[in-house]
Structure 1
Amino acid sequence: MSHLTPDDLQALALSLKVALTATLFGLPLAVLVALAQARGRFAARVVLDALVTLPLVLPPVATGFFLLLLLGRRGVVGAWLEKIGIVFAFDWTGAALAAGVMAFPLMVRPIRQALEAVDREVDEVARTLGAGPVTRFFRVTLPLAAPGVAGGAILGFAKALGEFGATITFVAAIPGETLTMPSAIYGATQSPGDEPRALALCLVAAAVAILAVLASDAVGRWAARTAQGRA
């Protein structure tokens, strides 16, 4: 790892910060959207499904460009947000937003599957005992769907950690500001003679990814045991 520079270590720290922020802010919305997909009965459900899937089928660069048009300093919403002191473009918060958008479909999918697997009769029993919709969701449905929620969170974190196309388009790769690990790897591969540094960065990224997979497995097993205990 002697080939790593201080900027590379800073890029790793920023990537972890971006991925964690994207996951923490995206997970509650992912749960709500997954619930609407799994239990909702409304005409616009097909549109919602398409919007959720869109980041998966669009080129990441296109997603980043749309974010720039919408939330850039001269964007439709970004120009207004800048007046009240909220800036996303070319800032680490924009990197978190772009990573969160790209990770969102991968968070929603396992959560939706987990919610669909919850037996509706359990919810009906709780309803007959006088529990309201909010109480039933937080004390019955969500605990039973916990393995899917945990899996979605870790999967989203891993995707956010490795996001490149949308991030570099929306916030560029400014050292110390928006330079994430994937951007640092790309920069190293484009510099002649920097192959050892690129390899070191890839090994670090691989190690973090393996840790994320192991964490996903551990959290998923714990959540499954907890859900079984509540069932």
Structure 2
Amino acid sequence: MITILMVGFVLGMAHALEADHLAAVASFSVRGKSAREILKLGVSWGLGHTITLFLTVVPLFLLGMVISETVEARLEAFVGAVLVFLGLRLIWRLWKDRVHVHVHTHDDGVQHVHVHSHKDEPRAHALSDHAHRHKSAVSWQSMLVGLVHGVAGSAALLLYVTDAAPVKWMVVPLVLFFGFGSVLGMALVSQIIVIPLKLAKMGKAWVFPALQHVAAIAAISVGAMFILNGLA
């Protein structure tokens, strides 16, 4: 039993590293303003992904039902469309909102990097207010994308638990371990985005906008591939 649960956990971490998941989280994470917020975005995606998997896989497994290949393909195409939207939205935001990176120092002396926009501001950049609010709530947008991804990934997980679960009640901890693995995996992956933030502190602020463009292009490319495969 322990072995089966640990395998589910490891598979969940591996699942988080799939191209479409990385593209989705990257498109959100590169908009993060600090290491803590970027971590929040990755974890929020993982939580949404886990919720959908649990609400989809557990009932279908207990009812002895499966997801057809046709339905799975259409769901993947839908995920692809979401990825394309995220990539295009990120590019639009970069070019229209005048997004840039600057180092920000608080009154207590703590210094970190902000992704900042001066959209529709009448004043010059030098006169603009750089005060920021730091929220700690869950990112609902990132969680929503995770929910969508969970629907598309439920077919494969359903097949796995059908073969792996020796008794029906084990589907619950198995799916939860899988989900926890995906949350942890995406949390670790999201922290890679922190590296360009650190480089910005060292005077290499151009690295972060460059990464934003790369993430947008990656999301669009992976999304287009999913659409073509899902509708083929």
Larger proportion of helix: 1
Larger proportion of strand: 2
Q: TM-score, normalised by structure 2?
A: 0.36
> Which structure exhibits the higher relative contact order, with contacts defined as CA atoms closer than 8 Å and separated by 6 or more residues?
2
